[in-house]
Amino acid sequence: MKISPDIFENTEIAFADKSNGELRKAKALFQLMSNNSLVSLGSSLAGLALSLHLPVSPVFRYTVYNHFCGGETFEQCKKTIQKLDKNNVGVLLNYGVELKEREEDFNKTVEHNLEALAFGGKNKSVKALCIKLTGFGRFGLLEKIQAGDELSTAEKSEFNQMKKRFDKICQVAVKNEVPLYVDAEESWIQNPLDEMVEEMMEKYNRGKCIVFNTVQLYRHDRLAYLQHQIDRAIAGQYVYGVKLVRGAYMEKERERAKEMGYKSPIHKNKKDVDEDFNAAVGLCLDNLNNLYVCVASQSEQSNRLAMELIEKKKIEHNNPHVQFSQLYGMGDNMTFNQAKLGFNATKYLPYGPVKDVIPYLIRRAQENTSVAGQTTRELSLIVKEMKRRRG
């Protein structure tokens, strides 16, 4: 079966689970988000309000939170998950709490993730749990490790504690048969994160694929890194798991490189990023016997390419080694049309208390404005479906 060039234009399938009222709310939200100045001002004000402990949660709850998050509790998430499941769409669950620095918070994050793994073990629509390793240990400690600075005895103990937290999560993931997708983070802490993930892969990915690393292809060194990791897994006789993304920290990476006078790790232009991402998709599909891949992209072109390659290579649409994912609240024209064709389609679904998820939501709004045309595209599809329904 040939993948239609206009496969992602079918808004009837894309928005089948949304009422007219939900479409109107989504339209209003994306109209607001298309105003870069407004997003920038709103993000700054929200950050200030958080630092002053002002009650901003209600505003976020009824706008961006309800659109981009599954709920505050597992019970609330369950309703979202069931709604997606009716359309054969699974979820990548993510406890969307960021920017914590205390041991108490790290232990709390571990407990939340253990609860999520237990929940996922009983709900087969949960295809994976997405985690950030900075949820288990200090950002500054990781910076120091990557810089090659000498660690104090206390810092060595702190790092060992971080690794123990991660190991515990991996053990419970194996027990509940819920894969772990470890998010990539800033380049100046990524090396120790990669090393931890690689160690856990070698330990736990024996026969099954439980631990996945995330490769950000906006970095010019990641395609070579991906090839090296595939080769390493084959030599070590363990299964490699990877989530392919373009990346989430582009402006921050470039600004830091400029300020500190080193070469930016980010590709110079979008064309090079796209080429590396698409090459990574091809590389993974060529090595499916030895790896599992999640194509996590908001790009219609990259999703279509992956689907066409699967057709060309005569890979079953529902091959468990290949998964697609888009953000909850965006890219429905891809997710639901992929699911309709029998591909393994999922949504990245953050959850957690509104006030704790606000930093994630601010980042999401800022990222959307930095990707040219993305918000406009979402808006145009919603408008198209509203017109279709009016006849």
Whether 107 maps to a domain, the answer reads yes
Q: What is the pLDDT of residue 263?
A: 95
Tell me if 328 sits within 8 A of 348, measured CB to CB. yes
Task: List Cβ<8 Å contacts ≥24 apart for 366-370.
Answer: 366/39, 366/40, 366/43, 367/248, 368/33, 368/39, 368/330, 369/33, 369/36, 369/39, 369/40, 370/250, 370/251
Sign of CA dihedral 33, 37, 40, 41: negative
Is the per-residue pLDDT at 357 higher than 80?
A: no
**Token pair of 197, please?**
């993930």
Query: Residues near 83 by Cβ (< 8 Å), separated by ≥ 6?
Result: 17
Q: What is the pLDDT of residue 374?
A: 77
Q: What is the pLDDT of residue 53?
A: 55
* d(C-alpha 342, C-alpha 345), whole Å: 8
* d(C-alpha 280, C-alpha 301), whole Å: 14
Q: What is the pLDDT of residue 320?
A: 97
* Axis-axis angle for helices 222-236, 187-204 (nearest 10): 20
Is the per-residue pLDDT at 16 higher than 70?
A: yes
Whether 388 maps to a domain, the answer reads no
Q: What is the CATH number of the domain that holds 194?
A: 3.20.20.220
Q: What is the pLDDT of residue 41?
A: 46
Whether 1 maps to a domain, the answer reads no
Domain residues for 143? 70-355
Q: What is the pLDDT of residue 47?
A: 53
As a whole number, mean pLDDT of residues 22-41 equals 75
Percent of the chain with pLDDT over 70: 87
Q: What is the pLDDT of residue 308?
A: 96
For residue range 94-132, list pLDDT tens digits in order: 986 655 678 898 999 999 999 999 999 999 999 999 999
Is the per-residue pLDDT at 240 higher than 70?
A: yes
* d(C-alpha 103, C-alpha 352), whole Å: 19
Tell me if 238 sits within 8 A of 170, measured CB to CB. no
DSSP states of 96-121 as a string? Answer: ------SHHHHHHHHHHHHHHHHHHH
* d(C-alpha 85, C-alpha 11), whole Å: 18
Q: What is the pLDDT of residue 295?
A: 98
For residue range 131-165, list pLDDT tens digits in order: 999 999 999 999 999 999 999 999 999 999 999 99
Sign of CA dihedral 329, 126, 168, 239: negative
Name the amino acid, one letter, at 136. F
* d(C-alpha 306, C-alpha 312), whole Å: 10
Is the per-residue pLDDT at 36 higher than 80?
A: no
Whether 211 maps to a domain, the answer reads yes
* d(C-alpha 341, C-alpha 304), whole Å: 12
Q: What is the pLDDT of residue 364?
A: 63
For residue range 295-351, list pLDDT tens digits in order: 999 999 999 999 999 999 999 999 999 999 999 999 999 999 999 999 999 999 999
Whether 28 maps to a domain, the answer reads no
The tally of domains found in the chain comes to 1
Q: What's the mean per-residue pLDDT of the chain? A: 90
Whether 16 maps to a domain, the answer reads no
Whether 29 maps to a domain, the answer reads no
Q: What is the pLDDT of residue 33?
A: 75
Whether 27 maps to a domain, the answer reads no
Q: What is the pLDDT of residue 301?
A: 95
